[in-house]
A and B are shown apart, each in its own frame.
Chain A
C-alpha cells in the first residue's frame, strides 16, 4: 500500500478553521522575523478527509486484533477489551479536563470526580494485592519498574544502607534488568531450574549489598514459584526489598496476594490484568503499590482524603522520590481499568484467574500429543512449549511455526521467549477465549506438527495469506529506512 505521503496532492484539504474574527492587525503583529521562522512548511500530506479516512481504514485492515480472532501472544495477556470502558474514558468531564486545574488555588474542588477515580482505583488495587498504598502515575509496566526501583533507592538512602545490586532470575522479563540498570543498580542474574528460582541458588548470591529482588510470579514459564516466601524472608534478612513484576498477576487474582507472598513493591499492568486495550504497543499503565514502610517515598503527588470526604493532591512530601510523570498517570487508561474492576467485582476477578489458568492447562494437555512442553506438570495462565525437537529433526523453527499459524488464521504465540527455553512457543489463551477457539487452535497446531514432519519446506514459505511474506530484517537493520525522504 502506498504511504500517505505518496497519496498527497497539492492543495487538497481536510480540516478548515473558522474564519478569523480577531482583527487583521493581530495577524500582522504576529509575523515572525525570518531567523525565527522555518524556511518552508513541513511536507505533510495534502488530502481530502475521505482519503485520509480510507487510508487508515485500509491500514487497520492489515492488522489482526483481539476483536478479529484468537491472539494467544504469551506474556501479553491479549484478552477481550470491553467496549463500554471506551465510552467512559471519552466522557467530556474526563476527556476535556486540564491536568493543571487541581494545581490552581482551590483547584482540587474542580476535579473531585477525577480524583475519586484515582483514589478509588488505588484503594481497589490495594485490596487486590494486599499493598498499603498505590500510585497511579507510572505510565507503563517498565515505567512502574523504574518507579519501584527509585523507591527502593530512596528507602535504602533513608536507612543509610549501602546497596548496589539487584537480583533477578534468568527467566525474568528483559525490562527487569534494564530498569534496574536505568535506576543506577548493578544487575546480578540468578540461575533458575526450569525458570524457578530456588532458595539455595538465591542464597548463593545474596549478600548485604543486595538492594532488592525482582520476581514475576507466576514466572515467564507460567509456573508459580512456591519458594517465594522463603526467598522473601532471606531477602528481608539483609534488608533487601522484594519487587513483584505484576505482569502475571492475572493468574492469581483472588488466589494469592503479592503482599502475602512477601513482596514490598508491586507494579501492575492495567493493560494486561485489567483488560484495557494494548493500542498497538500502548498506551498502557503501570501503577505501583508498596507496603507501609515505603509509602513516604512515593511519587508526588498523592491523592489524600480529608475528614469531610473531599480529596486533594498532596505535594508536600519531603521524602518523596519526586515526579515520575508530568501528572497523575495515563488517566484515560485508569478510567477503563477502574470500570473493569467495578464491573467484574470480587467474583468476576476471581473468575479471570480461574478461567485463564484452566484454558492454559487445557491447551497444555491438548497440544502435548504433538508438541513438547518446556516443563512438565500443571501451569498457570500461560504454557510454554519448545520446538527444539522439530528444529533438530526437521529444520522447522519456532519462527516457522508462528508464521504457519498466521496462515491458519491465528495470531502466533510469543516466540523465543523466555530466553531460558530453546525455540520457545509461549501461549496465553486468556479467560476470554471460548473452548471452540481453543480446540481450533489445537487442531491448527496439529496440522503444523504433521506438516513439519512430512513437508518442512512448506512451513518455511509461510505465511502465504498475508499482504507481505517474511521480511528482510537484516536489510532493515543494515540500511535503516526509517522515514520517507521528501523526494520520491
Chain B
C-alpha cells in the first residue's frame, strides 16, 4: 500500500532541480553512526489484506453482549445522520482553524457546540473541548488552584473513581493536596472546608446513579471563596438541575454519551463550561463570534493569549490538539435530539432503569443499596461477590454491570447496573431471569 503520488520520473525531476543524484543525499546530515541500518518491520500489505486482518480481530471481541454496563460510559443510540455528517471530509481532513477565513465551517460548528454546552449545563461559556471527562476534571482542578492561590482540593468519593485515580496521578508532582471524602452529606463538607480549600469537586448524577441537589454545598463553597466544580452526565441534564442552577463555577462532563460510540475507551470528549468571570482562565481553544472588515458575521479562535503557542510555560494549559471532531459529533447529536428529544431521552432512561430496578429487586436477596432518586444507573447488593456473578452473567450473554469492589473494596457484593434507551422490556426481563438463575 502506498499513498505517495510520485513516479520515478517525478522524483528524478525533483532531484534534478536540487542538483542531486539520489534521495540518500538529502539525509547525509544525519551522522553516519546514527543512521538506521536494519529495520525490522513487516513488508507492505494491500488494503484487502489489512482489512481482512482487522475484521478478524474485530470479530474476536464480545461486543454483542447485551449491555447493562455503564460506569460513566454508556451504550446510547446514535442516529445515522451523525456519522454521515462526520464523514464529510471537509470536517475530518482539516486541522485547527488557525486561518479563520478558510475554516468558517469548523469555527461556526464549534461556536454552536459551545452554545449547546452552555445551555445544557446552564453556564456562560464553554471551550472547544478537552480530551475526556477525566482530563477536564484535572484542568478544572488546576483552574481552582490558580484562581484561589490555595493548594487543597476536596473530592467527593462518589465522583467517578477512574477520574479520581487520574487526578491522583496528575497531581503527584504538583503542590496540590487532594482530600477524597464522602461529601454528599453537607455536614461532612462543612467539617472539611476551610480557608485553605481551593475547590470542591462533586458529581451529579453521582457514580452510583443518584441524583442530588448540591445548591447548599456550592453556597457553602462560595462562602469559603473556593471554586465549585461539578462533573455532570450530559444526557441526565435533559431533566436534572443544571450545574449553573446549583451555583457551580465550573462544570465538566464526559461527552461520549452525545453521539460517540463506546469504541473501547476513545476518542471521547471532555466538556468544560464556566461562569463568565472564569473565561480568561479556562484552558483550551475557544471560538468567538466577531465581524470582518465589511461588517459580516464571522468566527475565529479567540483569547489565544492564554495558550501554549503564545505563552509557552506560562500558558493556562499545554493542550493543543483537542477532540474537535467529537465536539462536532456531540453538537449534531444534540441538534438531532432537539429540545424535546433530549428531555424524552432522559425520561426514557429513567423509566427503563426504574422498571429494571423493580424487576431485579424482586429477586430474593437482591436489594437496592441506595434510596434514590436515580437517573439510569443504580447499585444492587447481591448475596455473593459481584465479580463471580458478572462472570456467570457473561456466559449467559450479558455484560451485567460493574462490580464495585474493584474501586470500593468494602463494596465487593455491589453491582452497578446501567439501563439506557437501547435496552427494551424483554431484554430487561431476560436479564432479571438470568440473574435469578445464576445467584
A293 within 8 A of B: no
B71 within 8 A of A: yes
Residues facing B in A358-407 (CB within 8 A) are 358-359, 361-362, 365-366, 378, 380, 402-403, 406
Cross-chain contact A346 with B42 (CB below 8 angstroms): yes
**Closest approach, in angstroms, between the C-beta of B30 and any C-beta of chain A?**
5
Residues facing B in A214-272 (CB within 8 A) are 223-224, 226, 228-229, 252, 254-257, 260-261, 269, 271
CB < 8 Å: which of A43, A127, A325 contacts B41? A127
**Closest approach, in angstroms, between the C-beta of B10 and any C-beta of chain A?**
5
CB < 8 Å: which of B134, B315, B334 contacts A44? B334
Cross-chain contact A27 with B324 (CB below 8 angstroms): no
B314 within 8 A of A: yes
Residues facing A in B139-190 (CB within 8 A) are 142, 162-163, 165-166, 168-170, 172-175
B253 within 8 A of A: no
A290 within 8 A of B: no
Binary contact track B41-82/A, C-beta < 8 Å → 1, others 0: 111111100110111111111110101010111010101010
Residues facing B in A44-92 (CB within 8 A) are 44-47, 49, 52-53, 55-57, 59-68, 71, 73, 76, 78-82, 84, 86-92
Cross-chain contact A182 with B318 (CB below 8 angstroms): yes
Cα A149 to Cα B305 with chains together (Å): 24
Cross-chain contact A111 with B100 (CB below 8 angstroms): no
> Which A residues are in CB contact (< 8 Å) with B72?
326
Q: B117-125, B195-203, B220-228, B362-370: which one contacts chain A?
A: B117-125
B275 within 8 A of A: no
Cross-chain contact A101 with B69 (CB below 8 angstroms): yes
Cα A68 to Cα B324 with chains together (Å): 19
Cα A95 to Cα B82 with chains together (Å): 14
Cα A228 to Cα B35 with chains together (Å): 12
> Which B residues are in CB contact (< 8 Å) with A107?
394
A117 within 8 A of B: yes
How many B residues are at the interface, by size bracket? 35 or more
A309 within 8 A of B: no
Residues facing A in B291-309 (CB within 8 A) are 291-294, 296-300, 302-305, 307-309
**Closest approach, in angstroms, between the C-beta of B431 and any C-beta of chain A?**
13
Give the nearest-CB partner of B20 in chain A: A361
Binary contact track B320-359/A, C-beta < 8 Å → 1, others 0: 1111111010011011111111111101101111110010
Q: A49-B336, A481-B289 known; A65 and B264 CB under 8 Å?
A: no
A329 within 8 A of B: yes
Cross-chain contact B27 with A347 (CB below 8 angstroms): no
Cross-chain contact B265 with A81 (CB below 8 angstroms): no
Cα A169 to Cα B374 with chains together (Å): 53
Q: How many A-B residue pairs have CB under 8 A?
A: 704
Q: A38-B237, A106-B391, A178-B308 known; A279 and B92 CB under 8 Å?
A: yes
Cα A143 to Cα B136 with chains together (Å): 12
B413 within 8 A of A: no
Q: A17-B421, A346-B39 known; A471 and B114 CB under 8 Å?
A: no
Cross-chain contact B173 with A150 (CB below 8 angstroms): yes
> Which A residues are in CB contact (< 8 Å) with B336?
14-15, 47, 49, 52
Cross-chain contact B62 with A357 (CB below 8 angstroms): no
CB < 8 Å: which of B142, B308, B403, B425 contacts A142? B308
Cross-chain contact A38 with B242 (CB below 8 angstroms): yes
B101 within 8 A of A: yes
Cross-chain contact A406 with B18 (CB below 8 angstroms): no
Cross-chain contact B71 with A467 (CB below 8 angstroms): no
Give the total of A residues in contact with B, Cβ under 8 Å: 206
Cα A277 to Cα B106 with chains together (Å): 14
A318 within 8 A of B: no
> Which A residues are in CB contact (< 8 Å) with B88?
56-57, 60
**Closest approach, in angstroms, between the C-beta of A390 and any C-beta of chain B?**
19
Residues facing B in A155-191 (CB within 8 A) are 173-184, 187
Cross-chain contact B212 with A328 (CB below 8 angstroms): no
B310 within 8 A of A: yes
Cross-chain contact B60 with A49 (CB below 8 angstroms): no
Cross-chain contact B54 with A335 (CB below 8 angstroms): yes
> Which A residues are in CB contact (< 8 Å) with B324?
279-283
Cα A15 to Cα B333 with chains together (Å): 9
CB < 8 Å: which of A53, A143, A431, A468 contacts B296? A468
> Which B residues are in CB contact (< 8 Å) with A326?
72-73, 132-134, 162-163, 166, 254, 265-266, 268
A204 within 8 A of B: no
B90 within 8 A of A: yes
Q: A281-B97, A324-B166 known; A178 and B173 CB under 8 Å?
A: no
Cα A325 to Cα B104 with chains together (Å): 31
> Which B residues are in CB contact (< 8 Å) with A81?
92-93
Cα A81 to Cα B298 with chains together (Å): 28
Cα A452 to Cα B186 with chains together (Å): 67
Cross-chain contact A62 with B105 (CB below 8 angstroms): yes
Q: A175-B318, A342-B50, A466-B101 known; A475 and B11 CB under 8 Å?
A: no
Give the nearest-CB partner of A260 in chain B: B34
Cross-chain contact B321 with A284 (CB below 8 angstroms): yes
Cross-chain contact A105 with B391 (CB below 8 angstroms): yes
Cross-chain contact B61 with A114 (CB below 8 angstroms): yes
Binary contact track B239-269/A, C-beta < 8 Å → 1, others 0: 1111001000000001000000111111110
> Which A residues are in CB contact (< 8 Å) with B266?
99, 139, 283, 325-333
A128 within 8 A of B: yes
Cross-chain contact A471 with B3 (CB below 8 angstroms): no
Binary contact track B260-286/A, C-beta < 8 Å → 1, others 0: 011111111000000000010000011
CB < 8 Å: which of B105, B265, B345, B388 contacts A328? B265
Cross-chain contact B318 with A142 (CB below 8 angstroms): yes
Cross-chain contact B168 with A105 (CB below 8 angstroms): no
Give the nearest-CB partner of A352 in chain B: B4
Q: A327-B266, A330-B267 known; A468 and B298 CB under 8 Å?
A: yes
Cα A91 to Cα B115 with chains together (Å): 32
CB < 8 Å: which of A21, A63, A183, A345 contacts B173? A183
**Closest approach, in angstroms, between the C-beta of B341 and any C-beta of chain A?**
5
B135 within 8 A of A: yes
CB < 8 Å: which of A27, A260, A328, A468 contacts B101? A468
> Which A residues are in CB contact (< 8 Å) with B322?
140, 281-283
Cα A1 to Cα B111 with chains together (Å): 13
Q: A47-B338, A328-B265, A333-B267 known; A260 and B36 CB under 8 Å?
A: yes
Cross-chain contact A435 with B6 (CB below 8 angstroms): yes
> Which B residues are in CB contact (< 8 Å) with A403?
99, 101
**Closest approach, in angstroms, between the C-beta of A401 and any C-beta of chain B?**
12
> Which B residues are in CB contact (< 8 Å) with A63?
90-91, 94, 102-106
B112 within 8 A of A: yes
Cross-chain contact B11 with A358 (CB below 8 angstroms): yes
**Closest approach, in angstroms, between the C-beta of B238 and any C-beta of chain A?**
7
Cross-chain contact A99 with B73 (CB below 8 angstroms): yes
Cross-chain contact B63 with A92 (CB below 8 angstroms): yes
> Which B residues are in CB contact (< 8 Å) with A256?
30, 34-36
Cross-chain contact A14 with B335 (CB below 8 angstroms): yes
CB < 8 Å: which of B55, B97, B133 contacts A280? B97
> Which A residues are in CB contact (< 8 Å) with B173?
150, 153, 183-184
A412 within 8 A of B: yes
Among B131, B241, B425, the one with the most A-chain Cβ atoms within 10 Å of its Cβ is B131
Task: Add 16 more A-B contacts to A14-B337, A277-B93 (CB < 8 A).
Answer: A15-B79, A15-B341, A20-B348, A26-B351, A38-B245, A60-B88, A63-B103, A97-B61, A176-B312, A178-B317, A282-B267, A338-B54, A345-B45, A346-B43, A435-B6, A484-B289
* Sample of 12 A–B contacts (CB below 8 Å): A13-B340, A60-B105, A63-B91, A84-B50, A90-B261, A280-B325, A282-B322, A332-B266, A347-B43, A432-B3, A482-B111, A484-B112
Q: Which 3 A-B pairs have the closest CB atoms?
A: A327-B265, A93-B58, A322-B169
